[in-house]
């Protein structure tokens, strides 16, 4: 059996514009998409937070694929994290139109004890101080993979750089790489 993977990060509802069209309140968040894909290859545990407005059928989608959802918190009456962006013609560049943290603003990830020794940790797109908190809760992961976005590069660069120091694989696009390096 494959090594288990723990993913901690954003589950969201996104409003996205492209040259081909627009969609509002679409399923988003790197933790959700990562969990769905990784569950095809290995056991996955998801730690995140959603509001009471998050579509239940999307949670069921992950459960049906065997994703351990013990760490997914639902805040009744709360609103799910929302992000809006416009992707440019090349689809590699985007402009963030809005970021509404909602329940994500007070998210304090607590890793279930039975998942703290997961050999692979994916820190999906969340605030770097939360990523550091998660790293401190883990028991010797063999591989740490981290994702981030322009928001955290702008708002929490020192904390993000500390996360990078504790990461084996760091995921950014070319725009975010230029923001981090100044080149």
Helices then strands (H, E): number in the chain?
6, 10
Q: Which two tokens stand for residue 112?
A: 């279930």
Task: Please give the CATH number for the structural domain made up of 5-181.
Answer: 3.40.1190.20
Tens-digit pLDDT string for the chain (183 aa): 579 999 999 999 999 999 999 999 999 998 999 999 999 999 999 999 999 999 999 999 999 999 999 999 999 999 999 999 999 998 877 898 999 999 999 999 999 999 999 999 999 989 999 999 999 999 999 999 999 988 899 999 999 999 999 999 999 988 899 999 998
Alpha-carbon gap, residue 154 to 42, rounded angstroms: 34
């Amino acid at each position: 059996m494959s090594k288990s993977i723990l993913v901690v990060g954003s589950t969201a509802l996104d409003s996205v514009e492209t040259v081909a069209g627009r969609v509002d309140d679409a399923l988003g968040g790197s933790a959700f998409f990562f969990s769905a894909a990784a569950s095809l290859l290995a056991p996955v545990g998801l730690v995140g937070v959603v509001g009471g407005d998050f579509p239940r059928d999307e949670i069921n989608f992950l459960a049906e694929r065997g994703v351990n959802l013990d760490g997914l918190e639902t805040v009744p009456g709360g609103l799910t994290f929302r992000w809006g962006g416009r992707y440019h013609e090349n689809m590699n560049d985007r402009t963030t139109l809005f970021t509404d943290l909602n329940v994500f603003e007070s998210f304090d990830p607590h890793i279930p004890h039975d998942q703290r020794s997961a050999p692979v940790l994916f820190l999906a797109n969340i605030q770097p101080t939360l990523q550091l908190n998660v790293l401190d809760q883990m028991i010797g992961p063999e591989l740490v993979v981290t994702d981030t976005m322009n928001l955290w590069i702008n708002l929490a660069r020192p904390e993000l750089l500390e996360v990078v120091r504790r990461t084996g694989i760091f995921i950014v696009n070319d725009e975010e790489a230029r923001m981090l390096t100044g080149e």
